[in-house]
A and B are shown apart, each in its own frame.
Chain A
């Protein structure tokens, strides 16, 4: 089987063959761009019905070819869960969302209602039933997506990096859900970078490289591989690395004192208002200067809230940031802190990689020749070869590095990044870690909010753990 996208110059998949037995659990892995997403799209019919291209060979799902039948016919048998929790729900409330697939299939209303109730109970969504989906966390949204797909009772589940935006607890819940599907006799095909949670479920692991299957391992073989063996295949580790060093750092530090932050109650369509507990309640938190500090903690622990407060984007009650004892007000923080947001797409605005850096340099106004400085920065984040490319044409890992480059160009001494490696493969994660080290070598204070244990092990000098808005460990 071969497939190439309409606008591509290389085949996305070549000589690809995959047959999934009923009840089998298959994991597809490999570096970014290896073709694993393409393989999932062949199964759920998005290729060729949504993404056009040249397809030769045959696909058979339950004896029928998704390319030959209408996509809604495939929808009855194949359930799909995608990477981004924000953009895969069609309605705005959990009940309609779970019902949506059943309604489209034309199931009788009574059956649909029954399945909605069952899914709400099975997936632990009962407490969320009256919330607006927009107010749910990433993990809750992903659980809802699974519930909505499961309600149509497909024979095959296809998942494309479903854990990319999830923390450890949410990933564990996802694992339990997938184990349930496997136990019910359904087949599961999942494309993933993060392998740890799939280890005990997998019946087969396929490793893809540049569109070809370069390795095929049974569940036992996969479980027998250690992290070095996985790394040799270019894959992420399956066991989390050792808990990183902590302890109060020596040397000059930035200190957060007595910060309480409460979100204003959310107003959302169809939802009620909530006055939640404070998102942050910090007595004292120290960030060593000129080092890389990792800020870890589950979703909702307050990592992003703290990052935004530090960057001066949101006011907090009574909190102070001290720079070696001297308070830095919100205004000054806005000048001295550079924040790279989780979705870098929002932050890249120009038409070429080199412009992106040059514009920032001009805004920062360090003086001197912008061109020379720009080229130096591009080299530092390893993007010299892409200088003339449009930022949006870069891979996720390259975009992160470009954002780190703009941080360098901004001349600001404190750089905060929010989940810079979500969804990145091993090679890209390592490049991001290298770029972060470059930042700290140039004297910047770096704070990385992340739940990527491998990234932390690869670059962090110091680790702070937040738990429900409080410092659990530093």
Chain B
């Protein structure tokens, strides 16, 4: 996994915003369809940028199939099942780009960068810190969840043997307890290191808009252009 280019977190965040606007407001004909296609491709491009080729390919396959499937189904005669299938395809086509871009954002943005970027946007500290904590916490939840899954398996507790409700309880209770504990320890460590001091904290990580950011913005502009011209 080699990074091809690195984006400023602000670029990624702006792209998420624009993409969702287009996905949920654009139509399906003429320029709108082209706009949709452009924004459908952007998340894959960003994923390739951080070296996630296979996830990018899988995403493209799924979302483009869904997009094509919806158009094809809606073009023909519609039976009941056809309507349902078209609905599912439509949902995937609209949601997948946003979800996948969210995934790309989570794996690519580092906590330090996010804080620097948000502070540079003059977003108040009361929002910056929670945002940073959430981003920091996602991998922890994933780690803890995998550990609980192993623990259940090691104890011989499986879905088939205890039933869905109990199974869910046995998965969730330890997960909640351990993530709450991790959160508490994280807070203590952060407090003893001066988080929350009033006044502007300095940030050393070098964020800034560079060529890749300009390229992504240009691509977004093309997509928006198609949409606005219609």
Chain A residues close to B by CB (< 8 Å): 44-46, 49-50, 70-72, 74-76, 78-80, 82, 84, 86-93, 95-96, 99-109, 112-113, 116, 134, 145, 148-149, 152, 265, 267-270, 272-273, 308, 311, 313, 334-335, 338-341, 343, 345-349, 360, 363-364, 392, 406, 410
Whether the pair A90, B185 counts as a contact (CB closer than 8 A) is no
Residues of B within 8 A of A343 (CB): 147, 178
Of B82-90, B91-99, B106-114, which stretch is located at the interface? B106-114
Whether the pair B203, A103 counts as a contact (CB closer than 8 A) is yes
Chain B residues close to A by CB (< 8 Å): 1-3, 51, 106-113, 132, 136, 139-140, 143-144, 147-148, 150-157, 161-162, 169-170, 173-174, 177-178, 181-182, 185-197, 199-205
Whether the pair A106, B202 counts as a contact (CB closer than 8 A) is yes
Whether the pair B173, A349 counts as a contact (CB closer than 8 A) is yes
- Within 8 Å by CB of B177, from A76, A84, A265, A345, lies A345
Please give me the 6 A-B residue pairs with the lowest Cβ-Cβ distance, nearest first: A96-B112, A104-B194, A75-B194, A88-B189, A87-B185, A72-B197
Whether the pair B155, A410 counts as a contact (CB closer than 8 A) is yes
- Within 8 Å by CB of B150, from A70, A145, A313, A410, lies A313
Whether the pair B106, A96 counts as a contact (CB closer than 8 A) is no
- Within 8 Å by CB of B151, from A72, A145, A273, A347, lies A347
Q: Closest B-chain residue to A111, C-beta based? A: B202
Residues of B within 8 A of A335 (CB): 156
CA distance A49 to B143 in the complex (A): 29
Residues of A within 8 A of B189 (CB): 80, 82, 87-90, 145
Show 12 residue pairs from A and B whose CB-CB distance is below 8 angstroms, ordered by the A residue. Answer: A72-B196, A75-B193, A82-B185, A86-B143, A92-B110, A92-B136, A103-B203, A134-B143, A270-B110, A346-B151, A346-B174, A406-B155
Residues of B within 8 A of A334 (CB): 153, 156
Whether the pair A363, B193 counts as a contact (CB closer than 8 A) is no
Residues of A within 8 A of B177 (CB): 345, 392
Beyond A44-B192, A100-B112: 9 further Cβ-contacts under 8 Å?
A: A72-B191, A72-B195, A75-B193, A89-B189, A104-B201, A106-B202, A269-B106, A346-B147, A349-B174
Whether the pair B161, A363 counts as a contact (CB closer than 8 A) is yes
A96 and B154 in contact, given A87-B182, A90-B136, A341-B147 (Cβ under 8 angstroms): no
Residues of A within 8 A of B162 (CB): 363
Residues of B within 8 A of A340 (CB): 154
